[in-house]
Structure 1
Amino acid sequence: MGDLSLDHVGFMVWDLDAGVTQWERLGFRLSRRSPQMGNVPGKEGMAPWATSNSCAMFREGYLELIGVTNRDNFNPWARFLDRFEGPHITALRCQDADAAYAALSKRIDNFDPPLQRLRNAPFGDGERPFKFRNIFSQDEHYPEGRFIVIEHQTPEVIWQEELMNQPNGAIRLCEVVFAAEPTDNTIERLQRISGGIAEDGNIGLIKLGGGGVLSVVSPDEFLDFYPGAGEPLRPMVAAVVVGVKHLKETADLLSTNGVSVWESSRPSVWVRPTEANGAVIEFIEVGLSL
């Protein structure tokens, strides 16, 4: 089994302010807006993009919200947004990008070599350089969305203590749930990307060696577990599972904020895609242990 862990899921919306408001209703505290930058066709070096992000940071992992804030700039995410608003990025964390790329290349093709990234991230009342290295999937080969294997070089810049104090009690990104048809071969791709293997007796569930779960369900299974969520596109990230300290307190906060809450037998509570920026967000109790 590989040593990759679940790092983050990136949601994309056209209106970042509206998206932030939706997640704040769910009890997430988000980081201040941070403009994105990267490669731009026809330009050398790093240049500003059309998008910015805000993140809901947990003790383990986080949720990223990307939205358009400057339509005059190049938008590298346009093709994803044209498909739907919701989660398009699944990121797995590694300790060393070079070693991870060497191992990944033996399992699966169509990932680019590690790319050094740098941007200024909000830190307290100011900013600090946020450095990381990304191994990107090549989009045309991965219908589920963009996969990233990431090496965090300055994790302390984004995992700030005050940002991890979530009003809804969220402390861990536990699971990413993909909706797919068997013919999509999503589970096979996930096994090769992650280096993990499907659980005995549950061929749709992969436990990552470094922590976290990737799972794949059929459209019918998705609707059985999340009745009322609506039929998802596929293949896609259709749900994320977030661990909280106290499930009842989370459910009470959601209800107080006017959010429609659904219950499952896991036990858990979950919120429909229409109230969560494009995918089910499910909350389970994991207590205070990490």
Structure 2
Amino acid sequence: MGRAAGRGVAGNVDRARGRSRLANGADRMSWTGRQLPERGEVFLDHVGYFVADLAAAGAQLERLGFRVSAVNVQTNADASGALKPSGTSNRLAKLKFGFIELLAATHDTPLADQFRQAIARYSGLHLIALSAEDLGKERVRLMAAGFAMQEVVELKRRDRTLPGEPEVHFSVLRPQPGAMAEGRVQWVRPHTPEIVWRPETITTENGAEALTDMLLCVDDPAAAAARYGRYAGRAPVTRGGLHAIALDRGGLVFADAAQAATILPGFDRPGLPFMAGQALRADLAKTRAVLARTGIEPVFACNDAICLGPRDALGGYLLFHAPQVSDPWDVLRNP
């Protein structure tokens, strides 16, 4: 796959064959300039950091130039419609497309117990959320593909940071605990995008515009890519010598420890498998200005990319890249 991102290319998705096929017949990472997926599309919606301290984590993201929300207590609607704490609370750094989520355990529930088990391994990226139009249909497909899935839950809360405290509503589909060894890999459908992505809440200072890629470090990249391909309903592809899943917006890339060491400066794995880093499409002039002002030193920088290491990016690698780059991690190997 080339490093120049294609624009305006229509993607025809064939979910029955588990394949994302572009009009020119090439499998590649693609980009759709739309917030919500339609007609069988699958987007990389957001990623999440598991942290011990939401205040400290939020302050660090603000140092990196992100606009971070106040703390939201997450709730589920029970059978009667009453809202009950899910066990975790979050803060969001919203982008023009997608968002970054900070999560901490704040209540005693089974979900919070799962969180505490995960963060005992390492603090950092633990969550990938894919989005689709109909989570009920996705659940049927996933069960047929051999994945143990929970029921779809309705996450609702009042956004008390906005006038009138409007209700925010997401449908969420999670696998059973342990089904995905790499972390919490779930599905989401935002029902109130006009509230979630209000213009005044979106990050602009550091130039970050959109979530594009996640890099996962695993023992067997080919096997992991095949499993994630079944999970996303997409056939694995090879990109820059790495196994990957090309979604209709964004993608997932898999590397073993040896490959990760050639990509990530100062790589020091916490134990496999784990979510090693995320990539964001950005206006790099704004990114450089923020980092210069705050005195944060990238572990890598070139004309097309700026990468922050785990020390400054909450335990994972954070790669800002220019809009024309469609293979972000390859830039680190071949600047």
- Above 0.5 in TM-score? yes
- The equivalent of 1:131 in structure 2 is 169
- The equivalent of 1:108 in structure 2 is 146
Say which SS state the counterpart of residue 141 (structure 1) adopts.
coil
Structure 1: gaps of 5 or more residues: none
8 Å contact kept, 2:216–2:254: yes
- In structure 2, the CA distance between the partners of 1:265 and 1:223, relative to structure 1 (3 Å rule), is farther
* Alignment root-mean-square deviation, CA: 2.4
8 Å contact kept, 2:76–2:154: no
**C-alpha displacement of 1:196:** 1.4
- In structure 2, the CA distance between the partners of 1:39 and 1:138, relative to structure 1 (3 Å rule), is farther
**C-alpha displacement of 1:97:** 1.3
**C-alpha displacement of 1:32:** 1.8
- The equivalent of 2:244 in structure 1 is 205
Say which SS state the counterpart of residue 200 (structure 2) adopts.
coil
- In structure 2, the CA distance between the partners of 1:133 and 1:50, relative to structure 1 (3 Å rule), is closer
Task: List aligned pairs for 1:158-197, cutoff 5 A.
Answer: 158-182=196-220, 185-197=223-235
Task: List aligned pairs for 1:81-96, cutoff 5 A.
Answer: 81-96=119-134
Partner of residue 312 from structure 2, selected from 256, 272, 275: 275
Letter of the structure 2 residue corresponding to residue 61 of structure 1: G
8 Å contact kept, 2:77–2:155: no
Structure 2: gaps of 5 or more residues: 1-18, 21-40, 325-335
Partner of residue 52 from structure 1, selected from 89, 102, 109: 89
**C-alpha displacement of 1:39:** 8.6
**C-alpha displacement of 1:160:** 1.2
TM (norm. structure 2) is 0.77
- The equivalent of 1:119 in structure 2 is 157
How many percent of aligned residue pairs carry the same amino acid? 25
8 Å contact kept, 2:207–2:285: no
- The equivalent of 1:28 in structure 2 is 66
2-structure distance, mates of 1:167, 1:63: 15
- The equivalent of 2:5 in structure 1 is none
2-structure distance, mates of 1:83, 1:263: 26
- Structure 1 runs (4+) deviating above 4 angstroms are 200-203
Deviates more, 1:170-179 or 1:223-232: 223-232
8 Å contact kept, 1:184–1:235: no
- In structure 2, the CA distance between the partners of 1:264 and 1:188, relative to structure 1 (3 Å rule), is farther
| 1:57-94 deviations in Å (ceiling 9; x for gaps) | 112111100124x4x64434211122211111110001
- Greater percentage in strand: 1
Say which SS state the counterpart of residue 168 (structure 1) adopts.
coil
Say which SS state the counterpart of residue 51 (structure 2) adopts.
strand
2-structure distance, mates of 1:82, 1:170: 30
- In structure 2, the CA distance between the partners of 1:137 and 1:48, relative to structure 1 (3 Å rule), is same
1-structure distance, mates of 2:308, 2:160: 29
- The equivalent of 2:184 in structure 1 is 146
| 1:180-222 deviations in Å (ceiling 9; x for gaps) | 11189322221111111222464511110x2111000111221
Q: Give yes or no for the alignment of 1:98 onto 2:106.
A: no
**C-alpha displacement of 1:55:** 0.7
8 Å contact kept, 2:234–2:246: yes
8 Å contact kept, 2:226–2:236: no
8 Å contact kept, 1:48–1:73: no
Say which SS state the counterpart of residue 174 (structure 1) adopts.
strand
- In structure 2, the CA distance between the partners of 1:117 and 1:27, relative to structure 1 (3 Å rule), is same
| 1:12-37 deviations in Å (ceiling 9; x for gaps) | 11111110111111111112211123
